[in-house]
Structure 1
Amino acid sequence: MTRNLTILSFLFLIFLALPFGGAIAEDTENAMNSVSGLPLPRFASLKSGNVYMRTGPSMDYPIRWIYQQEGLPVEIIQEFDAWRRIKDPEGETGWVHKILLSGRRTSAIKAKERVLAYASDELLRPIAKLDPDFLVNIEKCDKRACFATFPPYEGWIEKKHLWGVYGSEVFN
C-alpha cells in the first residue's frame, strides 16, 4: 500500500512538471545552439560607428553593408566561432565579428511618431515625441513598456512601438 502511494505521488509530481518542461528544454536548446552559451535569438547593439556586415562568417567573405550608426539595435540570430549572424531593423541579415557588438540595449522607434511618457502606466502624459527610426537606450522593461533614455530625456514607451525588445521580455 505504501509503495503504491509512493509511486502514485511520484507520477503526480511528474504530471505537474510536464507543462514547465517544454520551456526549460527550449531555453536549454537555444543556449546549446550558441557558441557563447547565450540564448538565440537575442538583441544587442553595434559597438562602433563603422561596422562591416559580411555575407559569411569570416573576413574572406565580401562586405554586404557598412553601418555607420553606433548603438544601432541588432538581433543576433546565429553564432559561428567569433562571428554573429545579425538582423538589422530593416530586416537585412549578415555576419559581424563579435567584438563589434555590445550587450548595451538600444531600440529603434517603429513605424510612426511615438510618445515618451513619465510612467509606464501613464503613457498619456508625454515628455517627448519620437520620430520613426529614432534610437533610444533601453534601461529596463516591465510587461508593458520600457524605460528609455536619450539625454536629456528619459521616460517610458510601450514595447509594441520598439524594435530591439521582445514583447515578453522583462529585465532591469
Structure 2
Amino acid sequence: MALGRFCSVAVLAGCWLGASVSTGFSAKDTATTSSGLPVPRYVSLKSDHVNVRAGPTKDNDVAWVYTRSGLPVEITAEFENWRRVRDSEGAEGWVYHSLLSGRRTAVVTMKTKDDLAPLYDRADPDSAVAARLQAGVVAQVKKCTSGWCRVIGSGFDGWIEQQRLWGVYADEKVE
C-alpha cells in the first residue's frame, strides 16, 4: 500500500515537473510575499479613511491619511499583514492589508496640467471621442489590452490609451 502511494506521488511530481518545464514556470517566478501575490502590483483604497504609517505596525506614527476611496496605489513591499504602498505622486508608507482592495482603478495623467485626455467609444483613435478627462480623474479599470484600457467613472465610460493612466503597467493586460 505504501509503495502504491509513493508511486502516485512520484507520478504527480513528474507531471508537475513536466508541466513546469513545458510552461517555462520556475520557482523564481513565484511570489515569496506574505500574501503569495506578486510585488509590485496595483490595488486601490477600500475606505475613505486610510491611515498611512511610517512603518509596518500600529506602533508607528500615522504619516498621513488618505481620504478618497478607490484611489489606486502600488504595493511595493509586504510585511505580515502590512503593505508598503506608493501613490501616483510618489509618496510611500505602510497600510494595513484590510484597507486595500483588489479592484483596479487608475488616475488619468498628463504631460501638462491643462491637457485633456480623449476617451474614445472604442479602442481606436479614429473612433468618436466620448469625453475628455482631466489629470487626476480616478476611473475604474474594466479591461486593458493592446495599449488601451476601458475605464468607467462618474458620467463616463470608454477607452483611453494605457500610457495616459497611472495604476496599470505598460502593456499589462487586465481582464
**Structure 1 and Structure 2 fold alike (TM over 0.5):** yes
Matching of residue 129 in structure 1 with residue 132 in structure 2: yes
Q: What is the TM-score when the length of structure 2 is the normalising length? A: 0.80
In the alignment, is the contact (CA less than 8 A) between 1:115 and 1:123 conserved in 2? no
Partner of residue 138, structure 1: 141
- Paired-residue identity, %: 42
Residue 160 of structure 1: which of 158, 163, 168 is its match?
Answer: 163
Letter in 1 for 2:34: V
Partner of residue 109, structure 1: 108
RMSD: 1.8
- Which whole-Å CA distance do the structure 1 matches of 2:126 and 2:42 have between them? 24
Cα deviation, residue 143, structure 1: 1.9
Q: 1:117 to 1:85 in 2, by over 3 A?
A: same
Cα deviation, residue 26, structure 1: 5.0
Cα deviation, residue 25, structure 1: 5.4
Residue 29 of structure 2: which of 27, 30, 44 is its match?
Answer: 27
Cα deviation, residue 79, structure 1: 0.3
Cα deviation, residue 155, structure 1: 0.5
Letter in 2 for 1:143: S
Partner of residue 68, structure 1: 67
- Which whole-Å CA distance do the structure 1 matches of 2:172 and 2:126 have between them? 19
Cα deviation, residue 125, structure 1: 1.9
Partner of residue 10, structure 2: none
- Which whole-Å CA distance do the structure 2 matches of 1:82 and 1:90 have between them? 24
- Which whole-Å CA distance do the structure 2 matches of 1:136 and 1:122 have between them? 19
- Which whole-Å CA distance do the structure 1 matches of 2:126 and 2:53 have between them? 40
Q: 1:145 to 1:123 in 2, by over 3 A?
A: farther
Matching of residue 150 in structure 1 with residue 149 in structure 2: no
Letter in 1 for 2:37: L
